[in-house]
């Protein structure tokens, strides 16, 4: 009797593992990713000021400080701006928004 229960339990376990694997494959195929829950005790080197569950807000930088260091305009200052880039530069210089005065 015990062996029959053990076999049944193993069959059920295998079926559940196969079903879980099929669901996981379907979810991954749909483009979703399952992340396991966070550990209850974070590692000691974790930043205590910003817990992993807290969302951090981006830090605002200076306005119109120019492109970042790796931007193509910084890499090739010898190339002239295109017509679109010149129009955008004029809009930024005048303080006009993207839809102000544009047909």
Q: Which residue, 23, 47, 48, 42, is CA-closest to 34?
A: 23
Kindly state whether residue 3 falls inside one of the protein's structural domains. Answer: yes
How confident is the model at residue 19, as a pLDDT?
Answer: 96
Rounded mean pLDDT of the chain?
A: 72
Containing structural domain, residue 17? 1-36
Kindly state whether residue 61 falls inside one of the protein's structural domains. Answer: no
Q: How many structural domains compose the chain?
A: 1
Q: What is the pLDDT of residues 14-24, one digit of tens each?
A: 999 999 999 98
Q: What is the DSSP letter of 41?
A: S
Kindly state whether residue 21 falls inside one of the protein's structural domains. Answer: yes
Kindly state whether residue 9 falls inside one of the protein's structural domains. Answer: yes
Kindly state whether residue 72 falls inside one of the protein's structural domains. Answer: no
Q: Which residue, 94, 63, 67, is CA-closest to 81?
A: 67
Kindly state whether residue 10 falls inside one of the protein's structural domains. Answer: yes
Kindly state whether residue 85 falls inside one of the protein's structural domains. Answer: no
Q: What is the pLDDT of residues 49-87, one digit of tens each?
A: 555 555 555 555 555 566 666 665 655 667 788 888 888
Kindly state whether residue 28 falls inside one of the protein's structural domains. Answer: yes
């Amino acid at each position: 009797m015990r062996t029959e229960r053990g076999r049944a339990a193993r069959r059920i376990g295998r079926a559940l593992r196969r079903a879980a694997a099929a669901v996981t494959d379907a979810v991954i195929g749909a483009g979703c990713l399952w992340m396991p829950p966070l550990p209850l005790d974070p590692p000691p080197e974790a930043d205590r000021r910003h817990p992993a569950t807290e969302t951090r807000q981006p830090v605002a930088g200076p306005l119109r400080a120019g492109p970042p260091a790796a931007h193509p305009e910084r890499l090739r200052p010898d190339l002239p701006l295109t017509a679109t880039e010149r129009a955008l530069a004029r809009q930024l210089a005048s303080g006009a928004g993207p839809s102000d005065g544009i047909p």
